[in-house]
Amino acid sequence: MTDPGRNVLFVVMDTVRKDHLTPYGYDRPTTPGLDEFAAEARVYDNAVAQAPWTLPSHASMFTGLYPSDHKATQEDPYLPEEIGTLAQSVSDAGYATACYSSNAWITPYTRLTAGFDSQDNFFEVMPGDFLSGTLADLWQKVNDSPRLRKVANRLVELGNDVHEYLADGEGADSKTPKVVDQTIEFMDANEEFFAFVNLMDAHLPVFPPEEYREEFAPGVDPTEVCQNSKEYNSGARDISDEEFEDIRGLYDAEIRHIDAQLTRLFEWMQENGKWEDTTVVVCADHGELHGEHGLYGHEFCIYDPLVNVPLIVKDPDLESGREERTVELLDLYHTVLDATDAQALGEPFDETRSLLSADYREFADGEYGFVEYHRPVVELKQLETKAREAGITLAEDSRYYSRMRAARRTDGKYIRNERIADEAYRVDSDPGETDPVSPDEDEVVAEVEATLAAFEDRYGGDWDSMDVDGDGLDAMSDDAKARLQDLGYVE
């Protein structure tokens, strides 16, 4: 365990895939600042996210639990009250805690911000009193009642719609500079701190600042490329190789913008005595697909571009260099507890899951990372809408309706699918996951499948469909119904 009292900066680059960062060998200069950071940090090549999208991935980092245990998925989009969070533990240890994010899922309404004393989140940056007042009370009510989950699903869909509205082509402004400013002010005002930031720039839709757009996507108009992944995934819109190349250029420009702002934050810390003794974590919660496997975005699959994520950590007790062993993002919960010497209020601290421990990953199946993907209720509704508008019928026995689980180690990966055939790959020789192999023909894949089966036995192997009767509106107050009517969710 480290010396007590370490400060922590925890940065999530939302939707940033590993192979678009220069510390991981990318041939475009997207992240010169992270390159410098990586030189004094530990770079993890096989970090596995516990889910391919924001809510369950963050919930695992904040609780040290797999999605089946913390339950925060689109099927039930709320972290239960009885589960203690990392921020609550660190705050209870006397640290000032802050969360700065414009991600629609990281809000009090999903309870991911529990324990953060200071926060600026998606709902707080809305114009006027949009999504305030009665809706805050309504959110908890709809998530506490199975009869109201249909309404919850409609409400969380708003996050994607509003993000797209605010980030349209009319001079969309990034929230990242403000997030960095807030983080600097917070650090400057506190001796002992835990600062968490989520940077959303690389998430669709992408409208990078002009200076970076000209460098990485010269001549590309963001309003002329497909910015809605559901249009492509539903079959309602085709995207050529050339258009995907333009999309990747815009994506790289956004990553370059993130890197510039992180560099500004790191330089301030170095100049103001906040760097040397601070544990700094930089990772992504998930990645993004740009046409690989015929998919766009980060839904409906758990391939490596989504779940083998970047992770770079600096700590005075952590030797710099590269790490080839499998790590899991949920281990960051234990790592921060270790760095701050905080007592866990939720999942007990496990030294073998702290990146700072000499005994790290010294447990059964420690060479494996596990992923869980529950049915993407919100994205599925949007996908069905795009398909219906184009006269397309989606097959229910398809990946769009399928829950998924995976076990991954550095040489092999097995994906259990609910409604389509399972998939297995030798990721050591086939990193693109394009050549499926059978457990009957490959010993590595057979071992990974057996380990996944044991994981499923521990965490519940059956996928029971969520059963929701009625819309639950009768249980709502008149004020809550009026607020939903104002937002257009009920007649």
d(CA 341, CA 108): 26
pLDDT at 104: 79
DSSP states along 420-457? S--EEE-TTT-TT--S---TTT-HHHHHHHHHHHHHHH
pLDDT at 4: 59
Which pTM value belongs to this model?
0.88
The two tokens of residue 269 are 């810390």
* pLDDT, tens only, 363-381: 999 999 999 999 887 788 8
Phi, psi of 6 (to 5 degrees): -70, 135
The two tokens of residue 442 are 């490959």
DSSP states along 308-363? EEEEEEE-TTS--EEEEEEEETTHHHHHHHHHHTPPPSSSPP-GGG-TTSTTTT-S
Residue boundaries of the structural domains of the chain: 7-465
The 10 Å Cβ neighbour count of residue 152 is 28
Please compute, for residue 246, the number of CA atoms within 13 A of its CA located in the half-sphere on the CB side. 15
Which helix (H) or strand (E) element contains residue 417? strand 413-417
pLDDT at 122: 55
Please give the mean pLDDT across all residues of the chain: 87
Q: Which residues contact 468 (CB under 8 A, 6 or more apart)?
A: 146, 147, 149, 150
Domain 7-465: top CATH class: alpha beta
d(CA 20, CA 24): 8
The 10 Å Cβ neighbour count of residue 348 is 10
* pLDDT, tens only, 103-112: 878 988 789 9
pLDDT at 171: 38
d(CA 299, CA 228): 12
pLDDT at 49: 98
pLDDT at 1: 46
With CA atoms as reference, report the closest residue to 73 among 416, 413, 378.
378
Query: Are 120 and 101 contacting, i.e. CB atoms less than 8 angstroms apart?
Result: yes
d(CA 201, CA 213): 13
d(CA 30, CA 238): 28
The two tokens of residue 302 are 């758990």
Cα-to-chain-centroid distance, residue 68: 16
User: Which pairing describes strands 413-417 and 423-425: parallel, antiparallel, or unpaired?
Assistant: antiparallel
Please list the ranges in the chain whose pLDDT falls under 50.
1-2, 125-140, 143, 147-148, 152, 155, 159-160, 162-172, 465-477, 479-491
* pLDDT, tens only, 122-152: 555 443 334 434 444 444 455 455 544 555 4
d(CA 70, CA 79): 7
pLDDT at 21: 98
pLDDT at 484: 35
pLDDT at 471: 39
Instruction: State how far the alpha carbon of 293 is from the alpha carbons of 150, 192, 299, 482, in Å.
Output: 31, 46, 12, 44
With CA atoms as reference, report the closest residue to 344 among 70, 86, 58.
86
User: How big is the chain, counted in residues?
Assistant: 491
Helix pair angle (331-340, 54-63), 10° resolution:
40
